[in-house]
A and B are shown apart, each in its own frame.
Chain A
Amino acid sequence: MTAALVREHKLNDREYNAILAMLGRTPTMTELGVFSALWSEHCSYKHTKPVLRTFPTEGPQVIQGPGENAGVLRLPDGWAVAFKIESHNHPSAVEPYQGAATGVGGILRDVFTMGARPVAVLNSLRFGPLDDPRNRYLFAGVVKGVGDYGNCVGVPTLGGEVTFAPGYSGNPLVNAMCVGVLREADLITARAHGVGNVLMTVGARTGRDGIHGASFASEDLSAESEARRPQVQVGDPFTEKLLLEASLELITSGTIVAIQDMGAAGLTSSSSEMAARGGVGVELDTSKVPLREAGMSPYEILLSESQERMLLVVEPHRVGEVQTICAKWELTGTAIGTVTNDGLFRVVHDGVTVAAIPGEDLVNGVPMYHPDAVESPEAIARRALRPTMAPKADLVGALPILLDDPTIASKRWVYDQYDSTVQANTVLGPGGDAGVFLVEGTAFGLAVSVDCPNRYVALDPYEGGKMTVAEAARNVACTGAVPLGITNCLNFGNPDKPEIFFQFKEAVRGMGDACRAFNTPVTGGNVSLYNESPTGAIDPTPTVGLVGLLEDVTTRVPSGFQRSGHLVALLGPSGGHLGGSMYWWLVRDFLGGPPPPCHLEAERRLQRFLAAAAKARLLDSAHDCADGGLAVAMAECCLGGPYDHGTLGAGIHLEHPPGLDAEGLLYGEDGARAIISFAPAAAEALRALAQGHQVPFSVVGNVGAVGGDLRITVGTTSMAWATGDLRRTFFNAIPRRMSA
């Protein structure tokens, strides 16, 4: 074993010495590969575990917290929801189509291995600006990859977010979330037990693709990353669909003890993690693994990340039944090992032992790191900056500029490529605040959203971390749902840099505080570090996926105005905070200042008010104010849904609070606010309800005529926009850039 080989496997001296001490000898080449994969950041969380432990993970609604393939929350009447979000950033940066497709495949498997049928997919995507052809190529490829995979498997995409900012050029983010539902009684975990039980692989054959993918995901992107393209796996959604049906049938038939997806680090991580969870050992015979190509070494077989494969634990007398179910779905189930009682992760190949590692130490013995966390002086300075005063702001001209920005503009170009109605349970599809679907066979629905206000996190990781959870919760609450819990995908740069680790720690602290305030525990997720390209690190992007419950799905509330003549009210306080705003960035060409502070108590009150108002069927619509502030949110309420026949006008009069100018009032991005519309007859009930919930409530105008203008008066200043023009701007912003 040479020092060069050890380094090539991305193991440092401290880690290699730990391996020597653990084994009491030099590792074999196969063992070195195994350690390299499992002790990569991607698999081991060696930089982040101590910080992640600070997340709240418990609550009466939690059935399964972090540590399994997916988190599971309790729903009424014996139902449960399994959900998780995961990144596929590095593969997508070099091969966008397959990178994104296999990202969707992986997250679907994480959910159906819990015994849940996947019923919704969401995604959170980030790219550099669309004026760069490379970014357009990545954006188009990722969207097509996500779509082709999810469409083929038959899981509707119900929502998501797409953000464009310079920091993601060269390092796009692809985070995919899957939501599945199950009967609580059908829940199954990835815990190997029963000495003598058989390990079986099901699904695709093992090939040479994706070897060392986990290690690749644990380093910065560089000029050499393009050469990693062969390490990107190739997806086969047809096999995935068969695997989905076979897995659910295996689980409900009771023929298997445990099941785990072979994701990052393939057979190695799936088998060793299942064993460690169950406190048992495993022995694998790699010569029995069905291969795509002859002559693969045990090293390659163990580290392959070929997609659409599952590992099962089966009692010996049921192997035949398992094989019958697999055959029904045109799949092969093959016995490749056994559960043992010696606690070892042992691998034999053609009768020769090629690896024997204490299993518990292999999975949990990686040296942990506690990097320094210090905020960079540049970040502190940026937060203190203010834009130079403009002589006279063009408050009318600013709105179309904001609506034309691809981050704010309609993402119809994206979700037109995603099947959003398959399974016939979609109640509110993409384009609103949150996706809502009916849980088939029940009266209730779930609302789902993914969010991350990355500009805020970059400017103030703690406040931004709180706001990430708050925005997701607010989006879900706008539909009338009660937030239940979250999953998160923490995308950051290189944790060895103190300023990056500061961002990580602070964002996690903020998210944890918000989750405690909202009673939305963290049920799992993933961490993606080393999101750095030669031009620097990405904005810190801790994406949150949140699930909320609508006890009676017929009470769901859409986001846009519904009826001329109905009233419009603004909920929550307007503080005119322009720091970190889209307005400052796009109109003043300035990105800085303190982001809006996140008032958790105000957010929680708003959430509760929205749920109560929806339950009482008092609302026509509810839409949160976020990017672009009140003016953009009001316009979005007027513009109609993606496939509507037209727009609605509105007449809005805003009072001039003391010390607050029209600029801040229209374009400030304070949290804890929403715009609602309702029948005049509901006004008094809503006012009383708002008072009871201590939510600031002011009727600001009414919904206007079909195709009418949006008129906003602030004090004595009157502004008007033709909603038809705004609609064209909003819906054409991305198509016109993509056809350029």
Chain B
Amino acid sequence: MTRVAVIRFPGSNCEPDAYRAVQREGGTAYYVFHRETDLRDADAVIIPGGFSYGDYLRAGAIARFSPIMAAIERHAADGKPLAGICNGFQVLCEAGLLPGALMRNASLKYVSRPVDVRIERCDTPFTTNYRKGEIIRIPVGHGDGRYTASDELLATLEREGRVVFRYVDTGMPDSVANPNGASNNIAAISNRDGNIVGMMPHPERLADRLVGGDAGARVFSSLIRWKRPIAAHV
């Protein structure tokens, strides 16, 4: 998985960070503008964080109508890796590529801080370099990160093992384990096939020891080393 398309919407602001994180792990990152209609032979796609179209209607609600979205949907339908980070997760939910919705934080305030998440699933293209059950500390920064779904959907996600990251309380004195009030402490989910992952935390901001740690770098190293499982070729 060497060619990684990083999508730029008007108002995206984490795309340079994702771009760098991919390059640092040996991948080839390139930007694809929202008005384009072709992903230019992307092996994988990342929809980065930010405030696409200002998030003035609902976070991610306008981006799903962008010209590039049709190509992204085809890419995902082919079983190729697709990640949405923060606003990108919101876009994936709005576009129906992932189920559920991201609502206003329970605190009604933007929250920017590191959180502890447990890796719940290591067989997605973005998490193979983690150990299941491992806990990493990783930044979040969002106003609309409260993952919300019907009881039925939550039960399905749990049953199918589709929760990828979960906020956990490590017992530190000031821990606010769940920063936004998400159902079942969900921080990241995948689709049924596991090739689409949406996450609220920002692994691309934690890809270098100098900037607080490299616990997020493995999201990108996982992707770069990802070989499509033979079983998926049907």
Contact = CB atoms under 8 A, between A and B. Distances in A.
B113 interface: yes
A238 B53 contact: yes
Interface in A380-437: 415-427, 429
B208 A644 contact: no
B110 A148 contact: yes
A635 to B, nearest CB: 15
Nearest to A140: B109
Contact of A238 (B11, B137, B139, B212): B11
Contact of A417 (B11, B50, B55, B109): B109
B10 A330 contact: yes
B54 A424 contact: no
Interface string B101-119: 0000000011111100000
Contacts of A242: 10-11
B112 A416 contact: yes
A642 B174 CA distance: 8
Given A154-B14, A421-B139, A646-B172, A427 B110 contact: no
A241 B54 CA distance: 9
B111 A424 contact: no
Contacts of A329: 10
Interface stretch (B90-98, B199-207, B223-231): B199-207
A416 B172 contact: no
Given A416-B112, A417-B111, A424 B211 contact: yes
B207 to A, nearest CB: 7
Interface residues of B, number: 38
Contacts of B114: 643
A646 B13 contact: no
A346 interface: no
A643 B114 CA distance: 7
Given A426-B211, A643-B113, A645-B172, A419 B141 contact: yes
B210 A553 contact: yes
A237 B54 contact: yes
Nearest to A644: B172
B51 interface: yes
B197 to A, nearest CB: 20
A554 interface: yes
A237 B51 contact: yes
A144 interface: yes
Contacts of B109: 144, 416-417
A421 B202 contact: yes
Given A148-B110, A417-B111, A427 B11 contact: no
Given A241-B51, A731-B174, A153 B211 contact: no
A738 B86 CA distance: 28
B204 to A, nearest CB: 6
Nearest to B179: A416
A158 B174 CA distance: 21
A421 B110 contact: no
Contacts of B143: 148, 151
A241 B17 contact: no
A548 B110 CA distance: 30
A438 interface: yes
A236 interface: yes
A374 interface: no
Interface string A84-114: 0000000000000000000000000000000
A727 interface: yes
Given A144-B110, A421-B112, A422-B205, 18 more contacts: A144-B109, A151-B112, A152-B11, A152-B54, A154-B50, A238-B54, A239-B54, A241-B51, A416-B112, A419-B110, A420-B112, A422-B17, A426-B212, A438-B211, A643-B114, A645-B170, A646-B172, A727-B174
8 contacts: A236-B54, A242-B11, A421-B202, A421-B205, A426-B211, A426-B212, A642-B174, A727-B173
The list of the 8 closest CB pairs from A to B, nearest first, reads A154-B13, A238-B54, A424-B17, A645-B172, A419-B141, A424-B205, A152-B51, A421-B205
